[in-house]
Structure 1
């Protein structure tokens, strides 16, 4: 089956040293995305034939990190196109894969159900208990790959803002994942409030001591 060939090919690409060094956007993340596609598709009663290009796009969507970090989606499209053309896959299906991959660029811009499924699968963790662990890995990756370092308070503020702006597109995302996302927002807000309160208490204590 083509999907099996795609899986094997992308696992090889994502097992390269470059991708192994990625804390977040690695083979584990891609495997999760493919599994998430299947979960969403099953919940919607979609056929294997319908999901085929979405799953293929899921396997390829982060392979572009082999070439660059920012704007990696176009390289992912190029790698998918090259592989699928060699397999004599229909041009219209290749275009669907390309469109799905491009839609994952932030801010996400899906223009069809297939792309909506991939977009939700890519940020699936935002609405689950995995969010906190995955978020720590993303922070580590940004520090290592982008040299972007944030204090705890700023990091929490950035993530609260991102989660509030980010919305799911599929029925599964809107009914299931959105609830989990809102719970994660509350968790981050509580954590931010604790830090702010602690800082305020320290300032008051220092002020009193130094009077």
Structure 2
């Protein structure tokens, strides 16, 4: 497989074709996820072969946003299935890539180590110091594609998602990201308390 050519192909499409009002899910998000995949893959001791399959999935995972906002993962899979044979990827590798991409949808629980690393990388910022800045970009994007949220509702949504819907899967992310995520939840709860009781 020619990972470098496949990467160049999809990166060019992401930069040129993703809608400019994807303030969160723009190409910059893909590059951020790829960076997290790199560090998690090293820490989790992935083989070279698995690493490049996972990295390919990371570059493709949000490509479906080129065509639609909701349920974009199956579109990303179609794009991968159409293009990756041209870069020498085997049917088996493409099947694995499909499963990794689909694991990033909210309704699917990751099963394999590669899927778990991908999900942790996709939400790496939940346990980082730049959480607030990235959350602001998501709120701005949702105002375009879904709805505008009041400060109170937005804080409540973040708390509920972080507490009830999200979890880290790899030992590395649990060790390195979970403490900062828990701190973030407390900060958000404090902000909500101040807002409600003002």
Range class of TM-score, shorter chain: over 0.9
Task: Kindly report structure 1 stretches of 4+ aligned residues shifted beyond 6 Å.
Answer: none
Within the alignment, does 1:159 sit opposite 2:151 as a pair? Answer: no
Please report the RMSD computed on the Cα atoms of aligned residues, expressed in angstroms. Answer: 1.3
Unaligned runs of 5+ in 1: 199-211
Match of 1:203 in 2: none
Q: Which residue does 2:133 correspond to in 1?
A: 133
C-alpha separation in 2, matches of 1:77 and 1:65: 12
Q: 1:83: Cα distance to partner? A: 1.1
On the 8 A contact 1:54/1:97 being kept in 2, the answer is: yes
Alignment of 1:170 onto 2:170 = yes
Q: 1:177 to 1:36 in 2, by over 3 A?
A: same
- Determine the C-alpha separation between the residues in 2 that align with 1:2 and 1:45: 22
Q: 1:201 matched to which residue of 2? A: none
In 1, the alpha carbon distance for the partners of 2:2 and 2:73 equals 22
Check the 8 A contact 2:18/2:27 in 1, yes or no.
Answer: no
Answer 1 or 2: higher relative contact order, Cα 8 Å, separation at least 6.
Answer: 2
Q: Can you list the C-alpha shifts for 1:12-46, whole angstroms capped at 9, x where unaligned?
A: 11112543321000111000101100110111222
Separation in structure 2 between the aligned mates of residue 20 and residue 14 of structure 1, nearest angstrom:
11
SS of 1:14's equivalent? helix
Of residues 96-105 and 174-183 in structure 1, the stretch that sits farther from structure 2 once superposed is 174-183
Instruction: State the Cα deviation string for residues 132-189 of structure 1 (Å, max 9, x = none).
Output: 111000000010122x011101100010000002101111111111111101101101
The alpha carbon displacement at 1:108 in A equals 4.3
CA contact (8 A) 2:34 2:58 kept: yes
Within 5 Å, give how 1:36-115 maps onto structure 2. 36-115=36-115
Helix, strand or coil for the counterpart of 1:23?
coil
Q: How many residues align?
A: 197
